[in-house]
Amino acid sequence: MAAVAEDSSEAAAVKNFDHNMNPKSEFDAHKLAEMFSNLNPLAKEFFPSSYSHHDRQDFHFYYQNNNRSLAKNFQVADQLLHSDNNRRRRPDFNNQGRRRMNNNRSVRAQQEESIRRTVYVSDIDKDVSEEELAKVFREFCGYVNDCRICGDPHSVLRFAFVEFANEHSARAAIGLSGTVVGSYPVKVLPSKTAILPVNPTFLPKSNDEWDMCTRTIYCTNIDKKVSQAEVKSFFETSCGEVTRLRLLGDQLHSTRIAFVEFAL
C-alpha cells in the first residue's frame, strides 16, 4: 500500500510540471515541497538492493539529525525560485554587473594608454618651473598635455610627470635623459603611473569665472607682519587696480599666502 501511495504521489507531482520540468504555478511548487518533506526516506523503495541493513541504520541516524534542515532548505529554495521579486531583479542585476564590468575595463584601458604617454623626470632643479620644463620637452618631442612637478619646493632636486599627446613623443622624451635643465641634468624614464586628472568640480563653470581666473594671481611667502592693506598697496603701485584680495595663513606656517584679483 505504501508503494502504491508513493507511486500515485509521484504521478500527481509529474502533472504539476511542464515539459521543461518547471512548476506550473507557485501553489503547485509549495504543495510539491510539502509533499517531498513528508516522504519517508527509510522506505525500502528508496534503497537499492546492494545496500545492507547497516547502511540503512547509518542513513536513519543522518536523517533524524537533518530532517528539520532538509525541510527548511526545501522552503527556502521554493521561495527563491518562485518569488516574483527575484524573478524581476535577476536580469537587472546581471545587466548592472555587465555595465559595471565594461566601465571598469574602459577606465583601466584609458589609464594604461595614459601611462604609455607619460614619462617620469627626476633630478629637477628647484628653480625650474613647470612651464619651463614643459617647454623643453615640447620643443624636442611634441605637444605636452600636462606637466606636474612634485616634491618639496625647498628641496634642491625634485621630480615630475610629463604627459604627451601620443606614445611616440613619450618614447622620444626618454632620449633627453642627461639634458641639462636649469643647473642639473635630468633623468627621464618611462612612467609607471598616469597623472591624476584635475577634479572638474574645481574648474571654472562659466565665462565670468574663467575671466576672474585670468585676472587673479596666487602669491606665497608673505611675511606675517605684512597687513592686507600693505599687500594691496604694493600690487596697486606696481601693477594696477586690485578689486579683491584674500590673505590666508595659520599657526603652523611662518608665512602666509594671498589671492589677488585685478581689475584688468
> In this structure, are 115 and 184 located in the same domain?
yes
Are 142 and 179 found together in one domain? yes
| pLDDT, tens digit (0-9, with 9 covering 90-100), for 164-194 | 999 999 999 999 999 999 889 999 999 998 8
pTM of the predicted structure, to 2 decimals: 0.43
Amino acid making up residue 1: M
231 shares a domain with 173? no
Within a domain: 38 = no
Q: Count CA atoms closer than 13 A to 123's CA, side-chain side.
A: 12
My answer on whether 205 and 254 are in the same domain is yes
Domain termination site, one of 190, 219, 252: 190
Examine the pLDDT at 5 and tell me if it is beyond 50.
no
Q: Among the residues of the chain, which ranges form H helices?
A: 2-15, 26-38, 53-82, 84-116, 130-141, 167-174, 207-214, 228-238
What pLDDT, on the 0 to 100 scale, is given for residue 202?
80
Question: Taking Cα atoms as reference points, which of 69, 87, 94 lies closest to residue 22?
Answer: 87
The bridge status of strand 144-150 relative to strand 157-164 is antiparallel
At a CB cut-off of 8 Å and minimum separation 6, what does 151 contact? 124, 157, 158, 159
Per DSSP bridges, beta strands 255-262 and 242-248 are: antiparallel
Q: Which of 190, 209, 237 delimits the end of a domain?
A: 190
d(Cα 255, Cα 124) in Å, to the nearest integer?
25
- Cα(162)–Cα(186) distance, rounded to whole angstroms? 13
Is residue 43, in this structure, part of any structural domain at all?
no
Residue 71 lies in a domain: no
Of 158, 190, 222, the domain-final residue: 190
Closest CA to 234 of 220, 226, 3: 226
Report, as an integer, the average pLDDT of 21-30.
Answer: 56
The residue that leads in pLDDT, 239 or 1, is 239
Residue 79 falls within a domain, yes or no?
A: no
Residue 16 domain-assigned (yes or no)? no
pLDDT recorded at residue 141? 93
What is the spatial distance between Cα 73 and Cα 67, in angstroms, rounded to a whole number?
Answer: 10
Using 50, 70 and 90 to split pLDDT, how confident is the model at 6?
Answer: very low
- Same-domain check for residues 138 and 211: no
Average pLDDT over residues 240-260: 92
Residue 24 lies in a domain: no
Q: Classify residue 115: in a domain, yes or no.
A: yes
CA 44 to chain centre: 59
pLDDT higher than 70, residue 259: yes
Residues 183 and 225 in one domain: no
Percent of the chain residues past pLDDT 70, beyond the cut: 61
Q: What is the pLDDT of residue 171?
A: 93
Do 127 and 147 have their domain in common? yes
Are 260 and 230 within 8 A, CB to CB?
no
Total count of domains within the chain: 2
Q: Which domain holds residue 224?
A: 200-262
Q: Is residue 27 part of a domain?
A: no
> For 1-28, what is the mean pLDDT?
52
Q: Over 50: is that where the pLDDT of 4 sits?
A: no
Say what the pLDDT of residue 152 is.
Answer: 78
Q: If pLDDT is split at 50, 70 and 90, which confidence band does 222 have?
A: very high
Cell of residue 146, nine digits: 600636462
Q: Which helix (H) or strand (E) holds 122?
A: strand 118-125
Looking at the fold, whether 244 and 216 belong to one and the same domain comes out as yes
Backbone phi, psi, residue 23, to 5°:
-60, 140
Q: Residue 228 sits in a domain of what CATH number? A: 3.30.70.330
With CA atoms as reference, report the closest residue to 187 among 164, 146, 158.
Answer: 158
Q: What is the pLDDT of residues 142-159, one digit of tens each?
A: 999 999 998 877 777 789
pLDDT tier for residue 115 given thresholds of 50, 70 and 90: very high
